[in-house]
């Protein structure tokens, strides 16, 4: 079945789509604050279900379009990679590792996307984005790591696998595109619903039924469901369809930046000079990755340039 292939937008529209796509990781950066200050503790998997599944069902209710043909299994695959399995492994990493270590593992996603895009899309790796990808990992590490960080092997494996799955999902989403005449809201609803249904039995088996929620928890889940999931993923999938995946994959580096700034502004957490250097590196890598540096083609010597007479001769021979 054919998929939608977007026409090449102008530079102004590309920057517009980049700005809209950046809203997604910025909103994801609020998750730590909302989770620690507003949500019930000890139910990370159920929190994932409450965040993802209602958002997907809401979008399906608004658009009233279900997948057809190959898009049934493709939606499940993409929903599992981008949302379902990714969230389960993210929670495993978060429980077994300090938040800084988990965030640094997530920062390797641009490097993974470069490799996977080469395998699946034929996009050749470029030294410019590889170099800035390494700089982004260092920057995030400076922002979130501290000397007391521990390294649990299972947590490390879960973090790396989760990041790899999401990177694969991003590239596959780019490769498959969207079905003809399917809106981005419909496409997002398919994936959120599929991913939420993947998490649901795991969450119920491990954590049981959710507890009663107070007003603070309801407000927190409403923010994460509507803004941090329905709106954020819609803008994110629109960005995947419109932008090069290599450049787009750097935008999630905004999440640990936003989380750290909110910790300082709202929770009174301190910031160090090394974190300032990390902010600069992370933001510089995001900005630099939006450009592609190519080598200049060497001009042909004048004696090798075809003359007007020779072009005419060739054209009439």
pLDDT (tens digit, 9 = 90+) per residue, 200-236? 999 999 999 999 999 999 999 999 999 999 999 999 9
Length in residues, the chain: 317
For residues 107 and 253, is the Cβ–Cβ distance under 8 A? yes
Phi, psi (5° rounding) for residue 102? -60, -40
The per-residue pLDDT for range 100-136, each reduced to its tens digit, is 566 677 788 888 888 898 888 887 878 888 898 898 8
Q: Is this structure's pTM higher than 0.85?
A: no
pLDDT score for 148: 53
pLDDT tens, position by position, 4-44: 544 556 788 888 999 999 999 999 888 888 888 898 888 88
Q: Do 24 and 251 touch, CB atoms closer than 8 A?
A: yes
Tokens 């999931």 — which residue? Answer: 229
Of 279, 285, 278, 276, residue with least CA distance to 249: 285
What does the pLDDT look like over 129-188, one tens digit per residue? 889 889 888 888 888 776 555 567 887 888 889 889 999 999 999 999 999 899 999 999
Distance CA 165, CA 73 (A): 17
The model's pLDDT over 49-91, given as tens digits with 9 standing for 90+, comes to 999 999 999 999 999 999 999 999 999 999 999 998 887 887 7
């Amino acid at each position: 079945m054919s998929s939608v292939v977007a026409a090449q937008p102008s530079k102004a529209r590309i920057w517009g789509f980049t700005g809209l796509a950046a809203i997604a990781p910025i909103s994801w950066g609020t998750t730590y604050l909302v989770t620690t200050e507003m949500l019930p503790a000890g139910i990370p998997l159920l929190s994932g279900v409450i965040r993802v599944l209602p958002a997907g069902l809401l979008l399906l209710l608004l658009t009233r379009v279900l997948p057809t043909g190959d898009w049934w299994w493709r939606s499940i695959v993409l929903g599992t990679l981008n949302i379902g399995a990714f969230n389960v492994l993210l929670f495993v990493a978060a429980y077994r590792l300090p938040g800084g270590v988990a965030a640094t593992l997530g920062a390797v996603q641009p490097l993974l996307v470069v490799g996977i895009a080469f395998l699946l899309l034929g996009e050749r790796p470029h030294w410019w984005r590889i170099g800035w990808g390494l700089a982004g990992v260092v920057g995030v590490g400076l922002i979130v790591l501290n000397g007391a960080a521990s390294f649990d092997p299972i947590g490390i494996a879960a973090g790396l696998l989760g990041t790899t799955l999401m990177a694969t999902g991003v590239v596959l989403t780019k490769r498959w595109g969207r079905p003809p005449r399917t809106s981005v809201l419909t496409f997002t609803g398919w994936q959120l619903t599929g991913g939420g249904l993947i998490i649901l039995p795991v969450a119920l088996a491990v954590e049981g039924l959710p507890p009663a929620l107070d007003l603070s928890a309801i407000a927190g889940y409403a923010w994460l469901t509507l803004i941090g999931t329905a709106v954020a993923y819609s803008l994110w999938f629109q960005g995947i369809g419109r932008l090069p995946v290599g450049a787009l994959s750097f935008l999630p580096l905004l999440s640990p930046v936003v989380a750290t700034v909110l910790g300082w502004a709202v929770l009174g957490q301190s910031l160090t000079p090394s974190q300032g250097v990390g902010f600069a590196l992370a933001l510089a890598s995001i900005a630099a990755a939006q450009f592609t540096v190519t080598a200049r083609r060497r001009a042909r010597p004048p004696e090798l340039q075809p003359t007007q007479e020779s072009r005419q001769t060739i054209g009439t021979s």
